Amino acid sequence: MRLAALLLMSAIAVAQEAPSEAGADPGQASAGAVVGPQYGLETSSPRGVIASFQRLSAEFEAAMTAYKTAHDRQSADRIALVLDQWLSLIDLSQVPEATRREVGAETATYLLDIFNRVPLPALDTVPDATAFKPGSPAAYAVPDTPFRIVRIADGPRQGEFLFSQHTVNSAPQFYRTVENLPLHTPGPVRSWGSEIRQFTGPMVPVALADAVPEKLKRPVLGTPIWKIVASVLLTAISVLILLAWNRATTHPDWGGRVGERWRLLLSPLAVLLAGLGLRYFLSGQIIVAGTFAAVTYAGLTAVIYLALAWTFWVLLLAIFETAISRSALPEQNFDAHMLRLIARIIGIVGGIVIVAYGAQDIGLPVFSLLAGLGIGGLAIALAIRPTLENLIGGFILYLDRPIRVGDFCTFGDRSGTVESIGIRSTQVRAKDRTMITVPNAQFADMQIVNWAQCDRMLISQTIGLR
């Protein structure tokens, strides 16, 4: 059903190369391009939407028939190109980005099966753009159906007429009420929705799909059982490969701290590639559909974005650690600590942004979550106020530089040599060799005498005479 995912990458490439004008000459296509009629979509009126839908429906049926016979890459690209245009006739703005193409393709095939049983009205009876006042709400109810073609009020497609958002939910329900009606258009396929569920991508041999027992072709959660089994098996194999990869890349010595940081990058990269690979095979080759596809794609999208955030975090730490190493900064140097802290802050912010985009793609209310995180962040900030004060004190010491590691200083009633300046506290070695740990917030507020920064040393000595 969700054939929109067929060879998504190649479809995008073809769409970029294909001419957009109506009536483009197929003979002028470059080598390797998809040959077939290309239609300019007309969405300025309900009449244009219905005319475009009829043209694309005929092209889709021809492309599907050709693919069923040839089962090659070129036919699959042709289907994907037609679907790209077909989906542009439906308002999918409320569908999560992660499943938008698949849901749109499913809705379009439902509409095709419905209008093969409930004829569309004659074009001369459908209102054109002159029938509606500019800027006012406008809608056209398709006769004998629950579908409406409405003018979009806002967003990137403002002013265009499209099948309304309600179509996505009402199409499957309405199809079940008309599926037993006779077809008014002759054709070899009674239901394209049922036909597409059994289709596979060009990399899956036709003989293999045909050899599947009929019992395993029955749909569960909108997907044939054999495709669910294949998807679970492919996922299990990917997990095993990831575990083996992680074990193989765990080495006792990767060149010290810097090498270890770069080694840690291998795991998130592997998870990211595995998620992208699974998404491609499940949507472009096995072609799962229905509720199973929606849950699977949402899960894979979450894995991909989490792996991307993980990769960003580890990569940033590795880059900063390499910079520290090449600068020959001591391990406990305050500059090294501050660089690591900056890397972590950037990594956290970047990771949150990446995860927020992922949440938006799978349909989570990102802005509400961010508002909740803001309130929760305020509560956390109040709870860890001392830690935040020390962190800010560390920044002040870093920017103001009243002391450095190795300086002999006096603060309050104590004196000693600064041994390390950390994120939370500063450690000073006293004259009696004891270690004094002072929180950065307190240390930044003290009057500090740095004897190492004296340009001249005043020696005041009392000499007694007898």
In this predicted structure, the answer to whether residue 440 has a pLDDT above a threshold of 90 is no
Report the pLDDT value the prediction gives residue 174, as an integer from 0 to 100. Answer: 92
If pLDDT is split at 50, 70 and 90, which confidence band does 2 have?
very low
Give per-residue pLDDT as tens, 313-329.
999 988 988 888 787 66
Question: Does residue 15 register a pLDDT over 60?
Answer: no
Q: Tens digits of per-residue pLDDT, 401-417? A: 788 888 899 998 889 99
Give the residue with greater pLDDT, 272 vs 81.
272
Look at residue 308 in the predicted model and tell me its pLDDT: 94
Average per-residue pLDDT for the chain: 79
Ranked by mean pLDDT, the top range of 174-188, 226-240, 369-383, 420-434 is 226-240
Is 127 buried (19+), middle (13-18) or exposed (0-12) by CB count in 10 A?
A: middle
How high is the pLDDT of residue 263?
85
pLDDT value, residue 277: 92
pLDDT of 216: 87
Asked whether residue 397 carries a pLDDT value surpassing 70, the answer given is yes
Convert the pLDDT of each residue in 172-211 to its tens digit. 889 889 888 888 766 667 777 777 777 788 888 878 877 8
Instruction: Give Cα separations from 133 to 43, 51, 114, 150 (angstroms).
Output: 16, 21, 30, 13
| Nearest in space to 306 (alpha carbons), one of 342, 343, 276 | 276
Closest CA to 324 of 346, 341, 311: 341
Give the model's pLDDT for residue 179: 85
Mean pLDDT for 129-149 is 85
To the question of pTM greater than 0.85 for the whole model, the response is no
- Report residue 9's pLDDT band, with 50, 70 and 90 as the boundaries: very low
pLDDT of residue 329: 65
The alpha carbon torsion through 352, 355, 357, 361 (nearest 10 deg) reads: -160
Quick: pLDDT tens for 239-277: 999 999 988 887 766 667 778 888 888 899 999 999 999
1, 106 in Cβ contact below 8 A?
yes
* The pLDDT value given to residue 32: 33
Question: Cβ distance 26 to 92 under 8 Å?
Answer: no
Instruction: Select from 259, 393, 390, 403 the least CA-distant residue to 333.
Output: 403
Q: What is the pLDDT of residues 275-313, one digit of tens each?
A: 999 988 888 888 888 788 888 888 999 999 999 999 999
Of residues 367 and 228, which shows the higher confidence score?
A: 228
Name 259's Cβ contacts closer than 8 Å, sequence gap at least 6. Answer: 253
Give pLDDT, residue 460.
Answer: 75
Instruction: Specify the pLDDT at position 419.
Output: 86
pLDDT at 25: 36
Work out the percent of the chain whose per-residue pLDDT is above 70.
Answer: 82
What is the pLDDT at residue 315? 92
Residue 311: the pLDDT is 94
Is residue 341 pLDDT above 80, yes or no?
no
Phi and psi for 199 in degrees, rounded to 5? -75, 155
pLDDT band for 382, please (50, 70, 90 cuts).
low
Structure tokens at 277: 């690979």
Residue 75 has pLDDT above 60, yes or no: yes
pLDDT, position 38: 42
Give the residue, 26 or 288, on which the prediction is more confident: 288
Report residue 20's pLDDT band, with 50, 70 and 90 as the boundaries.
very low
Rounded Cα distance between 359 and 181, Å, is: 41
What are 94-131's pLDDT values in tens digits?
888 878 888 888 888 889 889 988 888 998 899 888 88
Count of alpha carbons within 13 angstroms of residue 407, beta-carbon side: 19
| Residue 31, token pair as written in the block | 């080598």
Other Cβ atoms less than 10 A from the Cβ of 441: the count is: 20
Between 340 and 37, the higher pLDDT residue: 340
More confident residue, 226 or 250: 226
Q: Is 390 helix (H, G, I), strand (E, B) or coil?
A: helix
CA 112 to chain CA centroid, nearest Å: 30
